[in-house]
């Protein structure tokens, strides 16, 4: 029997193995009321509740639900609540212009839309059949429901989410992420980045970026605490690391720079020394920045490369044992490249002498 | 595009990323000449060579190649050389009786057979169309070849290997392991056990046991050194840990007991303290034994549960942060259970209060 791979595998494990752990610590400071802390058992229940809500809307399996939002617990629950019930989640970059967002909503065929309160004025006039400003009103509809949702027959080839590229050369292009693509990316990312149930994850990466590079599924399987961060701010990142014992974060090079700047003004020992790994992609940072992550923060720098179109992880560059004895500068030079193929991505063959002599009894 | 998952993904990565690392350290003491050390680039080339050899035998894609052998480099290369070229590998338990082995060879439809020299007398008379006693003669046929093998169109639903169960209740039953089942097991096992490219693996588990529980694929993707161990011997295990810096091994509880016995007589500090993880399955060891792994060896004890029929990993029990402050006895009690579902296996739901109140603005 072939068991279909779906994103539910990750939350199912989080719920079954770590029900009482805190799954989500919502951003305390945001326009909508903070959702506070949500356990894994509760997150599993929210998935059920959102399924019931979509049934009430009359959304067929495969229907699209869009959300334009900063990082928030409401956004995070929706990856599981929407895709986990057979509908397609469309997380939209809140930095896009109104016409671009309109285009994406139209193009994706979204039948339901949730908008961050901060964007309410900017996006006025955009609506679809069912539209909410995120907060008490949307919570009252989407959460807290009784009942059992219409069952979804797990299908790994079904689309879980659609991520729109930034549209630098043309209109944004929608990349349909299948459950299988999400699953394999999340498992391999977890393996190669060494994600364990001792990690604490800080959302320094926008979740709309290819479903947070898939890392939001990865850490969920391990019962990891998701600490939501609404806006990148170096000092705030250091405070959250300190407060929550964060060990893992992802982001663009700008996140690294923000943390380094804040560290220069930080009073006392930098939190997370020897325990935090920061996974960086988007553009290769300068070697000097990479070196400073080691020397000034004492954090591990991991570089990855990928495309939304590849789900996204293709390569990873993480310090190898062979580099342990190098100077911090030499190590930073090694880490300034995109790295090596992860398992399952197709490496080019490496030209190298590799014949192997047959042993003889001499 | 859906990329098929095959066992080649693991060796392809080992070859591309770690070509000059030592892939295999063959057992020095064995009836056939030791193959010594083989790099990842060479292991990749051996896969090619074995493909050419199977073409010469006229073996069609899907044909079965059987091997009855103790752990050895020749056995290990064949998992990649046979399955990696679209044929089906049948590693047979060398402890079975001659009639059982005959049955398996017949039942699997093996067209080629390799036999460990130590078993030559016991298995005299068993042969198929192409039969070798492993050593210089078989090496001369299987290894050292020029040319390019007939290409295999990767197919994740194709059978990679057939593992025969021990037949306690009836004739041994052959379990066909698809490439997909091998891939998902190896990736999840690697993730959940935290296998990294800093590990060194000792083959304390017979490779014929469900392809070494799939761990032999896992570690290959990470460029890990495979240290072959032909026979379980506690003192020899400790010596290999010391000599090769072994960090990871798998085995039945008997392996644990053998190591503990040897440790009692060991002169000086036990090697691997704080760095070795031992993954145990087959039967749950007594709590006292689990505790001694921590207190006497300083190794991490990980328990898993699975069946050959489930490819095999279903559950894993590894110390959680929540147990760090327990006494070693309490921790051993926690670890004496089979554990929690790994990602992708289907957990039963956990009965627990898990409603979630909707936040209000108060």
* Residue A174 tokens, joined: 């929608």
Q: Cα distance from A217 to chain B (closest Cα, Å)?
A: 11
* Separation in Å, CA A215 to CA A194, A204, A208: 12, 12, 12
Q: What average pLDDT does range A340-352 have in this prediction?
A: 64
What is the separation, in whole angstroms, between the first and last Cα of chain A? Answer: 50
Q: Cα distance from B243 to chain A (closest Cα, Å)?
A: 17
Q: Give residues with Cβ within 8 angstroms of A87, minimum separation 6.
A: A54, A59, A61, A62, A63, A64, A65
Q: Give residues with Cβ within 8 angstroms of B171, minimum separation 6.
A: B100, B103, B107
Cβ neighbours of B340 in A, within 8 Å: 13, 16-17
Query: Do A354 and B33 lie within an 8 Å CB cutoff?
Result: no
Name the band, by pLDDT with cuts 50, 70 and 90, for residue A340: confident
Cα distance between residue A97 and residue A254, in whole Å: 21
pLDDT recorded at residue B362: 36
Cα distance between residue B204 and residue B195, in whole Å: 16
Q: Measured between CB atoms, which of A198, A350, A355 is closest to B321?
A: A198
Query: Do A343 and B187 lie within an 8 Å CB cutoff?
Result: yes
* Chain A interface test: which of B17, B177, B220, B361 (most A C-beta within 10 Å): B17
pLDDT recorded at residue A220: 98
* Chain B interface test: which of A21, A191, A345 (most B C-beta within 10 Å): A191
3-state secondary structure of B255: helix
* Residue B130 tokens, joined: 């192409």
Cβ neighbours of A302 in B, within 8 Å: none
pLDDT recorded at residue B340: 87
- B342 alpha carbon, distance to own chain's centre: 18
Cβ neighbours of B359 in A, within 8 Å: 33-36, 136, 139
3-class SS letters over A75-100 = HHHHHHHHHCCCCEEEEECCCCCHHH
- A239 alpha carbon, distance to own chain's centre: 21
Q: What is the ipTM metric for this complex?
A: 0.93
Q: Backbone phi, then psi, for A58, in 5-degree steps?
A: 80, 25
Using CA atoms of B355, B359, B360, B362 in order, give the dihedral in degrees to the nearest 10.
100
Q: Give residues with Cβ within 8 angstroms of A256, minimum separation 6.
A: A278, A280, A285, A289, A293, A301
Are A91 and A75 spatial neighbours (Cβ–Cβ below 8 Å)? yes
Closest residue in A to B356 (Cα) is A42
Q: What average pLDDT does range A11-37 have in this prediction?
A: 97
pLDDT recorded at residue A127: 85
pLDDT recorded at residue A309: 85
pLDDT digits (tens, 9 = 90+) for A267-307: 999 999 999 999 999 888 999 999 999 999 999 999 999 98
pTM of structure: 0.94
pLDDT higher than 50, residue A331: yes
Cα distance between residue B79 and residue A190, in whole Å: 26
Closest residue in A to B4 (Cα) is A344
Query: Do A17 and B359 lie within an 8 Å CB cutoff?
Result: no
* Chain B interface test: which of A4, A5, A8, A17 (most B C-beta within 10 Å): A17
CA-angle at A122, arms to A116 and A125, nearest 5°: 95
Name the band, by pLDDT with cuts 50, 70 and 90, for residue B353: very low
pLDDT digits (tens, 9 = 90+) for A78-132: 999 999 999 999 999 999 999 999 999 999 999 999 999 999 999 999 989 999 9
pLDDT higher than 70, residue B320: yes
pLDDT recorded at residue A103: 95
Q: Given the DSSP bridges, would you call strands A37-39 and B22-25 parallel, antiparallel or unpaired?
A: unpaired
pLDDT recorded at residue A172: 87
pLDDT recorded at residue B352: 46
* Separation in Å, CA A241 to CA A202, A249, A252, B16, B120: 8, 10, 18, 36, 62
Name the band, by pLDDT with cuts 50, 70 and 90, for residue B357: low
Q: Measured between CB atoms, which of A44, A136, A353 is closest to B361?
A: A136
Choose among B137, B133, B159: nearest CA to B63: B159
Cα distance between residue A183 and residue A5, in whole Å: 6
Q: Give residues with Cβ within 8 angstroms of A260, minimum separation 6.
A: A234, A289, A292, A293, A296, A297
Name the band, by pLDDT with cuts 50, 70 and 90, for residue A353: very low
pLDDT recorded at residue A167: 67
Name the band, by pLDDT with cuts 50, 70 and 90, for residue A253: very high
Q: What average pLDDT does range B197-224 have in this prediction?
A: 97
Task: Give the percent of chain A with pLDDT over 70.
Answer: 94
pLDDT digits (tens, 9 = 90+) for B133-166: 999 999 999 999 999 999 999 999 999 999 998 7
Choose among A2, A359, A318: nearest CA to B33: A359
* Chain A interface test: which of B344, B346, B360 (most A C-beta within 10 Å): B344
Q: Cα distance from A320 to chain B (closest Cα, Å)?
A: 7
> Does B188 sit behind a cis peptide bond, omega within 30 degrees of 0 on the bond before it?
no
pLDDT recorded at residue B235: 98
Q: Backbone phi, then psi, for A68, in 5-degree steps?
A: -115, 110
Are B148 and B48 spatial neighbours (Cβ–Cβ below 8 Å)? yes
Name the band, by pLDDT with cuts 50, 70 and 90, for residue A355: low
pLDDT recorded at residue A40: 98
- A63 alpha carbon, distance to own chain's centre: 22
pLDDT recorded at residue B2: 82
Q: Where are the alpha helices (DSSP H) in B222-353?
A: 234-244, 253-264, 287-292, 328-335
pLDDT higher than 80, residue A357: no
Using CA atoms of B335, B338, B343, B345 in order, give the dihedral in degrees to the nearest 10.
-170
Cα distance between residue B95 and residue B97, in whole Å: 7
Cβ neighbours of B41 in A, within 8 Å: 350, 352-354
What is the separation, in whole angstroms, between the first and last Cα of chain B? Answer: 50
Query: Do B358 and A44 lie within an 8 Å CB cutoff?
Result: no
Cα distance between residue A218 and residue B3, in whole Å: 20
Closest residue in A to B218 (Cα) is A343
Query: Do A349 and B188 lie within an 8 Å CB cutoff?
Result: no
Cα distance between residue B323 and residue B328, in whole Å: 9
pLDDT higher than 80, residue A345: no
**Mean of per-residue pLDDT scores for chain B:** 93
CA-angle at A234, arms to A231 and A236, nearest 5°: 65
Cα distance between residue B18 and residue B229, in whole Å: 23
Q: Cα distance from B135 to chain A (closest Cα, Å)?
A: 9
Cα distance between residue A308 and residue A212, in whole Å: 10
Number of other CB atoms surrounding residue B260 within 10 Å: 15
Task: Give the percent of chain B with pLDDT over 70.
Answer: 94
pLDDT recorded at residue B244: 98
Closest residue in B to A185 (Cα) is B187
pLDDT digits (tens, 9 = 90+) for B35-56: 999 999 999 999 999 999 999 9
What's B308's DSSP letter? G
Q: Measured between CB atoms, which of B143, B221, B343 is closest to A343?
A: B221
Lowest-pLDDT range, A112-126, A166-180, B97-111, B119-133? A166-180
Query: Do B359 and A157 lie within an 8 Å CB cutoff?
Result: no
Strand residue runs (E) in chain A:
22-25, 37-39, 64-68, 88-92, 110-115, 130-133, 159-164, 174-178, 200-202, 225-227, 248-251, 277-280, 300-306, 313-317, 340-341
Cα distance between residue A20 and residue B293, in whole Å: 29
pLDDT higher than 80, residue A255: yes
Q: What average pLDDT does range B308-321 have in this prediction?
A: 91
pLDDT recorded at residue B355: 60
* Residue B250 tokens, joined: 């798998």
Q: Domains of chain B by range and CATH?
A: 39-178 (3.40.50.980), 232-341 (3.40.50.980)
pLDDT higher than 60, residue A47: yes
Closest residue in A to B46 (Cα) is A356
């Amino acid at each position: 029997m072939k068991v279909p791979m779906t994103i539910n595998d990750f939350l199912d494990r989080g719920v079954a193995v770590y029900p009482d752990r805190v799954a989500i610590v919502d951003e305390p400071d945001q326009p909508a009321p903070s959702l506070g802390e949500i356990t894994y058992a509760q997150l599993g229940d929210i998935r059920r509740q959102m399924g019931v809500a979509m049934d009430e809307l009359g959304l067929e399996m495969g229907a699209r639900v869009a959300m334009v939002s900063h990082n928030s617990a409401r956004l995070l629950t929706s990856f599981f609540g929407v895709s986990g019930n057979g509908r397609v989640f469309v997380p939209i970059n809140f930095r896009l212009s109104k016409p671009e967002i309109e285009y994406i909503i139209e193009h994706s065929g979204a039948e339901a839309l949730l908008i961050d309160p901060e964007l309410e004025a900017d996006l006025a006039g955009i609506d679809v059949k069912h539209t909410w400003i995120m907060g008490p009103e949307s919570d009252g509809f989407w959460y807290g429901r009784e009942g059992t949702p219409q069952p979804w027959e797990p299908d790994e080839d079904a689309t879980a989410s659609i991520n729109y590229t930034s549209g630098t050369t043309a209109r944004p292009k929608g990349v349909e992420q299948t459950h299988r693509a999400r699953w394999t990316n999340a498992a391999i990312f977890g393996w190669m980045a060494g994600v364990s149930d001792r990690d604490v994850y800080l959302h320094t990466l926008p979740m709309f970026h290819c479903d947070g590079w898939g890392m939001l599924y990865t850490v969920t399987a391990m019962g990891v605490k998701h600490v939501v961060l609404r806006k990148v701010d170096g000092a705030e990142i250091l405070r959250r690391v300190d407060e929550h014992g964060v060990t893992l974060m992802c982001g663009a090079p700008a996140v690294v720079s923000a943390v380094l700047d804040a560290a220069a003004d930080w009073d006392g020992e930098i939190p997370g020394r020897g325990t935090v790994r920061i996974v960086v992609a988007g553009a290769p940072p300068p070697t000097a920045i990479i070196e400073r992550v080691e020397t000034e923060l004492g954090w591990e720098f991991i570089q990855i490369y990928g495309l939304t179109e590849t789900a996204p992880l293709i390569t990873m560059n993480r310090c190898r044992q062979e580099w342990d004895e190098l100077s911090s500068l030499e190590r930073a030079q090694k880490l300034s490249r995109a790295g090596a193929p992860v398992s399952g991505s197709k490496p080019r063959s490496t030209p190298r002498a590799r014949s192997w002599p047959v042993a003889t009894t001499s």
